[in-house]
Chains A and B, each alone.
Chain A
Amino acid sequence: MSTFVQSLRLWFAPERIRQEGDTPDYRFSLANERTFLAWLRTALALIGGGFAVDQFLPDLRWGVRVGLALALLGAGVLCSLRAVNHWVRCERAMRRGEDLPASRFPALLGVVVAVVALAMVVIVVFGWEG
């Protein structure tokens, strides 16, 4: 977790990230930026999904509806924070000429989305009153 705190300090210190290593080819930095934006879009989609569940599924029981919406919103928050963190780590690795950081977050998010989708299938097949 200390590596997370370290990169958290880098979030707001552009001069410190520029002190490390050499500036990579600008195209690599732009590719890293686009990856960051793609993760941010994923986060925004999850947050939009949270809003949508709350509004467009009024027949669901209150607990199920709020739980599902909060789960989606939580996933969105995690996704956006992780987007910045991963961007900082990739940028630093590129400047130092190291390997790009490996991450189990995509697999985790994939499993969570699959579980939510399966839950929706079960709810649809066996009726709403679950």
Chain B
Amino acid sequence: MARANAARLESPAVWALCAAPLLLIFYWGFTSQLTANPVEFVLRDLGLWGLRFLCLTLAVTLLAKYANLPWLMRYRRRIGLWAFAYVALHLTVYLGAAHEFDWAEIGADIAKRPYITIGMAAFALLIPLAVTSAAAVRRRMKPRSWRALHRLVYVIAIMGVAHYFLLVKADIRSPLLYAAIVATLLGARLVASARPRKARAAG
């Protein structure tokens, strides 16, 4: 009984955890804790959460398979879509609040500044992943091509880190931390997939 109740709470709990960073921004907004420069703060915060959720989706696959937490797989799609949501909100704040939809200025920014170019490309690559995550679309795709497409998330995570790395002024410690996280996740995945048969046979 207790177990059934816990299972019933699991999904809303995951949902709440994914939404928490966004709700926190609203809470800070209503209590004027978004610093003296709210646009900059919200832009950075949303971008960071986009990157964090990208790392989480990568971690979910690994943990589900190799840390014996298969139930995590139920939430991989949801976490991935939240990553997309945070990145999309980050982009919206960039376009609307940081640049007031000044398209000439935004176009110049994309053309001139590598970190903006990379960020935009990463977002563009996320779109097909978000679209093909819908169950109906996934069913129509060959599993092999779906998996191949979704491996793009590693490329996107690397681009996300590069975007972050190139924008900081002097203190590269935080971008380095995310570079290390993505490298570890990618490395673990490569090591794991180098011996897939053995692992599956053992399991």
The yes or no verdict on A and B being binding partners is no
Please report A residues at the B interface, Cβ cutoff 8 Å.
none
Please report B residues at the A interface, Cβ cutoff 8 Å.
none
